[in-house]
Amino acid sequence: MNFFLETIQVLLLSMWYSVESFIHLFVPIKRKNIAGEVVLITGAGSGIGRLMAQEFAALGTVLVLWDINQEGMKETARLAKQSGASRVHYYLCDCSDKNEVYRVADQTYKAFLPAMIANNYGHLVSIASSAGLIGVNGLADYCASKFAAVGFAESVGLELLATGKDGIKTTIVCPYFINTGMFDGCQTKWPRLLPILDPDFVAKKIIDAVLTDQVYLLLPRSMYLIAALKNVLQWKLKSLLGSYLGLSLEVDCHTNSSLHYKLQ
């Protein structure tokens, strides 16, 4: 295709995608039916993983649960069955053990993605964090892992589109801090703008994003504006805005190696 024709194609598609987005502001996207589908949830023994299991169970799915916490998974399985899951399977996985990670990896992307590609069907969900979009003072290692998760999910999604596998959907979830055990004691400077998120609210939003094939889910909605500003503001202005929003973090290390986070 020559330069002129390709440029015209891009302009026309850009106009159509913009119109489509505008229409969806008023006309909700139809939610897909996933009854009977197999849903694999890692970290399912507690927190967001457990809540997502219950939400997916209510939609009549077959659940596969992974976690290091055997008792936690048993409880999640019990709750999922009560919520309507047609079948529930759970398996131990210790992500701190490299060999265990490799063993489990052979049963996830390496096993499922080829089958998805062959059938051009499926949905991959990556639970990252707003810290995977914006660096946070005092959380370099945490941000690095979340930036990696976002980059990996974006790359896989783009590769699937480039190879014509548009039947495989991807959803990248980037929430602000969630009120779970990991962030106990966390406070926010401007709770109306950047609230500490309720786990049930986050789980329901993730399910809704999956059912409507939403590629990016940032929570709260103010994160869309903050992430956009991060990419256009000059460095000193970004630093100033970060301080204003309370994205400066103090990390106190105690002898028991636990970390306590407090947003300024």
State the CATH number of the domain containing residue 208.
3.40.50.720
Annotated catalytic, 142? Answer: yes
User: Is residue 255 in some structural domain?
Assistant: no
53, 79 Cβ separation under 8 angstroms: yes
**pLDDT of 112 strictly over 80:** no
Could you tell me the two tokens for 130? 């707003």
pLDDT of residue 215: 96
User: Is residue 54 in some structural domain?
Assistant: yes
Range of the domain at 100: 33-185+194-231
pLDDT in tens, 11-57: 998 999 899 888 988 888 889 999 999 999 988 999 999 999 999 99
User: Is residue 69 in some structural domain?
Assistant: yes
3-state secondary structure of 136: coil
Distance CA 144, CA 234 (A): 22
Sign of the torsion angle spanned by Cα atoms 215, 217, 223, 225? positive
pLDDT of residue 258: 35
For the beta sheet containing 216-219, the strands, ordered from the edge strand earlier in sequence to the opposite edge, are 122-127, 168-175, 216-219
pLDDT of residue 147: 94
Greater model confidence, 23 or 262:
23
3-state secondary structure of 187: coil
Distance CA 227, CA 133 (A): 7
Give the H/E segment covering residue 122.
strand 122-127
User: Is residue 5 in some structural domain?
Assistant: no
The pLDDT mean for the chain works out to 85
Arithmetic mean of pLDDT, 62-81: 93
pLDDT of residue 86: 83
Distance CA 216, CA 39 (A): 19
User: Is residue 101 in some structural domain?
Assistant: yes
**Range from 91-95, 126-130, 153-157, 205-209 carrying the lowest mean pLDDT:** 91-95
pLDDT of residue 114: 84
User: Is residue 128 in some structural domain?
Assistant: yes
User: Is residue 112 in some structural domain?
Assistant: yes
pLDDT of residue 262: 38
126, 215 Cβ separation under 8 angstroms: no
The pTM assigned to this predicted structure is 0.82
Length of the chain in terms of residues written: 264
3-state secondary structure of 35: coil
Phi and psi, residue 39, nearest 5°: -120, 120
User: Is residue 201 in some structural domain?
Assistant: yes
Please give the tally of structural domains in the chain.
1
Instruction: Give me the amino acid identity at 56.
Output: F
**Catalytic entry in 17, 109, 121, 142:** 142
